């Protein structure tokens, strides 16, 4: 069967703020929610994060958010509804309150209680934060936050940031304008290997805008590291062990960086291995009190090994032009997972085998059009390849019927993608900027799912349960984005993004 679809989608976003920087995904607001945040002594808390979420839905569903001004004041715009208002600031306990909005609403003064433990750990007020229309920038030069901490520890201290999310939205992470291709535990391990003392600034954009995504449901975190001296290098490593009676997982990561003249090189390696074993007993009581079943379930994951690497090269042609290349791999070497279920009626043995290999490489060219305003052009070409191999083997033996059912499934997936885009940023002044760009993404993958059943001592191919899938997707997109502010009280952003998506899918099912 072949499916074809052509889709043209556009998005228009308007963001408008009051006495502090505010981001909102709705371009129509009806009522104003305002208030003031102070500490226990009545002093205003500047830079506190104020988040408004829908009360009935997941906490990640952010309606709007902002940061208090120098007087501790905030003002949010929203439609009528039932919400959860959250206020937090590093060194203080979080404040939460349910509110119902049916008109303009003034919240009684929010008093934040000190968290003694956090206050003894860090004082974020000693770290300069500069707020902008699209987010904020934290200067890490001589910051007390950087002492004896990793980059991921520092990120969790910043307003709205927690576990690589900004106000509940997953973040795309950049290091020195280089987009990291890692995710999950691999991304956390990479950031844990970067000492906070090597960071000069951190930029947080809570909502990426049309330049990054048509849905805008992602955030951006950018880390800028200290420049290496001419002919100098940097090396740091970290190791850890997660162990108990049922699990043993050692991990190690290391990063080496070197700079010579206009050429900078960086190499990163992260490896982990380990095993786990778990026993459990499940008791099931039937409607008939004379029938009782007790299952002994054993889960065993023998030694396995994963390896993640990244090699990056950056060449500065001159003060205005530079080119960079990155190649990364993520491999899960062949391993297996075993599960055994035993009760009074049957014996079920299941073995799951798996392996994966992910390779990503990209090059980019950056040109600074105006050093004074920071206007720049960026051109990127990225290719990636992902291979997954899985085998499931199930052996089910019924004691009552003396019947053995032995099945095997083999699934292979091969995915390749090409992503190219160009971005132009024109900073008209300190308060006004225009961004525009285009993107082309081509994806192709093949997925083979084959099933076998044991007949006698031989495996028979099960045609009715096997299937091959071929999929191809082409996306062409363009965007135009404007950011601006009026005085020191109002900021706004408006953008439009147009996409054309075409995909084909072929499912081959043998009958």
Q: Does residue 427 register a pLDDT over 60? A: yes
CA angle, 288 as apex, 286 and 289 as ends, to 5°? 90
What's the chain's average pLDDT? 77
Q: What's the rounded Cα separation, in Å, for the pair 480 and 437?
A: 7
- Of 509, 398, 396, 379, nearest to 439 by C-alpha is 379
**Distance between start and end Cα atoms, the chain:** 13
Q: How confident is the model at residue 323 (pLDDT cuts 50, 70, 90)?
A: very high
Q: Which helix (H) or strand (E) holds 152?
A: helix 151-155
Percent of the chain with pLDDT over 70: 78
Indicate whether 40 pLDDT > 60: yes
Question: At 214, is the pLDDT very low, low, confident or very high (cuts 50, 70, 90)?
Answer: very low
Q: Look at residue 119 in the predicted model and tell me its pLDDT.
A: 44
pTM higher than the cut 0.85: no
Instruction: Output b/e per residue, 467-498; b: 16+ Cβ within 10 A.
Output: beeebebbbebbbebbbbbeeeebbebbbebb
Distance of CA 71 to the CA centre of its chain: 33
The H or E element that residue 19 is part of is none
Sign of CA dihedral 141, 145, 146, 147: positive
Each residue of 141-196: pLDDT tens digit? 887 778 788 888 888 878 778 788 887 778 889 888 778 877 787 888 888 888 88
Of 222, 215, 181, which is closest to residue 201 (Cα–Cα)? 222
Residue range 296-310: mean pLDDT, rounded: 78
Q: Is 206 buried (19+), middle (13-18) or exposed (0-12) by CB count in 10 A?
A: buried
Tell me the per-residue pLDDT of 266-295, one tens digit each, with 9 for 90 and over. 888 888 887 777 776 666 555 555 544 566
pLDDT of residue 19: 37
Residues 6+ apart with CB under 8 A from 453: 406, 407, 408, 459, 460, 462
Lookup: tokens for 257: 């960086």
Query: How would residue 107 be classed by pLDDT, with cut points 50, 70 and 90?
Result: very high
CA distance 408 to 396: 12
- Residue 293 has a pLDDT of 58
pLDDT one-digit tens code per residue, 359-385 = 889 898 989 888 777 788 889 898 989
Instruction: Tell me the domain boundaries of the chain.
Output: 1-17+312-511
Contact 233, 256 (CB under 8 A): yes
The reported pLDDT for the residue numbered 488 is 56
For residue 125, what pLDDT is reported? 52
Burial class of residue 444 (count of CB atoms within 10 Å of its CB; 0-12, 13-18, 19+): middle
Q: What pLDDT sits at residue 28?
A: 46
- pLDDT band, residue 217 (cuts 50/70/90): low
The answer to which of 239-248, 362-371, 478-487 has the lowest mean pLDDT is: 239-248
Nearest by Cα to 51 from 97, 91, 18, 92: 97
**pLDDT at site 21:** 38
- Average pLDDT, integer, range 44-66: 74
For residue 167, how many C-alpha atoms fall within 13 Å in the half-sphere facing its CB? 32
């Amino acid at each position: 069967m072949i499916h074809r679809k052509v889709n043209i989608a556009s998005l228009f976003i308007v963001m408008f703020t009051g006495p502090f920087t505010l981001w909102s995904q709705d371009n129509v607001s009806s009522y104003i929610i305002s208030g003031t945040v102070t500490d226990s002594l009545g002093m205003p808390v500047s830079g506190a994060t104020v988040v408004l979420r829908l009360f009935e839905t997941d906490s990640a569903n952010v309606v709007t958010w902002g940061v208090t001004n120098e007087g501790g004041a905030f003002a949010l715009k929203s439609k009528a509804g039932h919400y959860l208002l959250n206020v937090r600031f590093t060194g203080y306990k979080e404040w939460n309150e349910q509110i119902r909005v049916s008109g303009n609403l003034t919240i009684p003064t929010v008093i934040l209680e000190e968290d003694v433990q956090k206050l003894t750990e860090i004082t974020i007020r000693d770290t300069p934060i500069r707020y902008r229309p699209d987010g904020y920038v934290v200067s890490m030069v001589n910051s007390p936050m950087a002492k004896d901490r990793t980059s991921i520890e520092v990120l969790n201290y910043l307003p709205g940031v927690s576990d690589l999310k900004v106000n509940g939205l997953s973040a795309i992470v950049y290091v020195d304008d280089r987009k990291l291709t890692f995710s999950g535990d691999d991304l956390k391990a990479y950031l844990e290997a970067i000492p906070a003392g090597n960071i000069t600034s951190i930029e947080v954009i809570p909502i990426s805008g049309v330049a990054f995504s048509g849905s805008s449901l992602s955030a951006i975190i950018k880390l800028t590291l200290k420049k290496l001296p001419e002919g100098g290098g940097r090396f740091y490593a970290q190791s850890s062990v997660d162990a108990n009676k049922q699990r043993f997982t050692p991990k190690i990561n290391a990063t080496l960086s070197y700079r010579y003249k206009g050429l900078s090189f960086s190499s990163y390696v992260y490896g982990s291995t380990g095993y786990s074993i778990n026993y459990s007993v499940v008791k099931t009581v039937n409607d008939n009190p004379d029938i009782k079943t007790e299952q002994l379930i054993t889960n065993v994951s023998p030694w396995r090994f994963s390896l993640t690497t990244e090699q990056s090269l950056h060449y500065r042609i001159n003060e205005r032009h530079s080119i960079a290349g990155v190649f990364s791999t993520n491999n899960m070497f062949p391993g297996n997972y075993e599960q055994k279920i035993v009760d009074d009626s049957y014996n079920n043995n299941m073995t799951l085998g798996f392996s994966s290999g992910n390779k990503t490489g990209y090059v980019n060219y950056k040109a600074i059009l105006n050093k004074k305003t920071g206007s720049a052009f960026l051109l990127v070409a990225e290719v990636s390849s992902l291979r997954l191999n899985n085998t499931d083997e199930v052996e089910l033996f019924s004691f009552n019927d003396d019947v053995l059912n032995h099945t095997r499934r083999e699934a292979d997936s091969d995915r390749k993608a090409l992503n190219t885009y160009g971005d132009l940023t024109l900073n008209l002044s300190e308060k006004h900027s225009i961004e525009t760009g285009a993107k082309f993404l081509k994806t192709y993958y093949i997925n083979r799912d084959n099933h076998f059943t044991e007949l006698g001592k031989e495996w028979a191919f099960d045609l009715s349960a096997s299937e091959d899938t071929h999929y191809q997707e082409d996306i062409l997109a363009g965007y135009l984005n404007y950011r601006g502010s009026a005085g020191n009280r109002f900021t706004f952003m408006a953008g439009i993004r147009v996409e054309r998506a075409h995909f084909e899918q072929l499912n081959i099912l043998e009958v």
